[in-house]
Amino acid sequence: QDVPPGEQPVDPYVQSNANAGATPLADKATFEAFHGKAGLARIASDLVDRNLADPRIKDIFATADTVRLKRTLTEQFCYVLGGGCDYTGKDMTQAHKDQGITGRDFNALVENLQWAMDKEGVPFAAQNKLLAKLAPMARQTIERK
Ligand code: HEM
C-alpha cells in the first residue's frame, strides 16, 4: 500500500469496500445531486476544515492526517452514494478507536456536514439520503456518553 502524496504512512490493514460501513445506493441520482465526485471532494474538504475550526470538536481532529481524511471521506461518500468509487480507508470502528467520541461530538459533526452540503447546494432530499446511510455509524464511532 503506497502512501499517497501529502499523507502520513499508516499501519497496514485490510482494504475493502466493506470498510465503508454501508452498502451503496442503487441508482446514481443522489450522487449526481451531490455534483459527483468533485462535489463530494468539496464537501469532505469543507467538513474537515469546519471540524478543525469548531470549538466543540476541534481538539479531536488536532492530530489527524487531514489530507488522508479528506481523501478517504470523499471515497466513502462516493462509494455509499453509488458513485462507483472504491473506499480504501479503515473501517469505522478502527478509525475511531480510543478517541472517546461522544454523542454530542457526533451531532456536532453531522451539523457541520449539513452546513457543507448546504454550501454545495445539495437538495434537502439528497442530503437526507446520505445522512440516513451515515446515521447507523454512530454505533461504531461513539465510545462514551
Ligand atoms: C457518520 C459519522 C462518521 C463518518 C462517516 C466518519 C468517517 C471517517 C473516515 C472515513 C475516516 C478515515 C479513516 C482512515 O483514515 O482510514 C475517519 C477518521 C477520523 N474521524 Fe471520523 N467519521 C465519522 C464520525 C466522526 C466523529 C463524530 C468524529 C469526532 C467528532 C470523528 C473524528 C475522526 C478523526 C479525528 C479521524 C482521524 C483519525 C486519525 O487520523 O487517526 N469522526 N472518519
Banded model confidence at residue 1, pLDDT cuts 50, 70, 90: confident
The reply to whether ligand 1 has any atom less than 6 angstroms from the CB of 126 is no
Query: Of the candidates 110, 109, 43, 119, which has an alpha carbon nearest to the alpha carbon of residue 76?
Result: 43
- Residue whose CA is closest, atom 17 of ligand 1? 95
Residue to mutate (ligand 1; options 66, 141, 143; most atoms within 8 A of CB): 141
pLDDT digits (tens, 9 = 90+) for 97-145: 999 999 999 999 999 999 999 999 999 999 999 999 999 999 999 999 8
Residue to mutate (ligand 1; options 15, 63, 68, 96; most atoms within 8 A of CB): 96
The reply to whether ligand 1 has any atom less than 6 angstroms from the CB of 137 is yes
CB-based contacts of 74, cutoff 8 Å, min separation 6: 37, 40, 41, 44, 85
CB-based contacts of 67, cutoff 8 Å, min separation 6: 4, 6, 7
* pLDDT (0 to 100) of residue 73: 98
* pLDDT (0 to 100) of residue 21: 98
* Ligand 1 centroid from CA 27, angstroms: 26
* pLDDT (0 to 100) of residue 40: 98
Locate the ligand 1 atom nearest the alpha carbon of residue 73 and give its number: 10
What count of other Cβ atoms lies within 10 Å of the Cβ of residue 85? 20
Evaluate whether the domain defined by 24-141 bears CATH number 3.20.20.80: no
* pLDDT (0 to 100) of residue 69: 98
- Residue whose CA is closest, atom 1 of ligand 1? 134
* pLDDT (0 to 100) of residue 2: 86
Query: Of the candidates 57, 20, 60, 14, which has an alpha carbon nearest to the alpha carbon of residue 40?
Result: 20
pLDDT digits (tens, 9 = 90+) for 29-83: 999 999 999 999 999 999 999 999 999 999 999 999 999 999 999 999 999 999 9
Query: Of the candidates 34, 103, 99, which has an alpha carbon nearest to the alpha carbon of residue 73?
Result: 34
The reply to whether ligand 1 has any atom less than 6 angstroms from the CB of 68 is yes
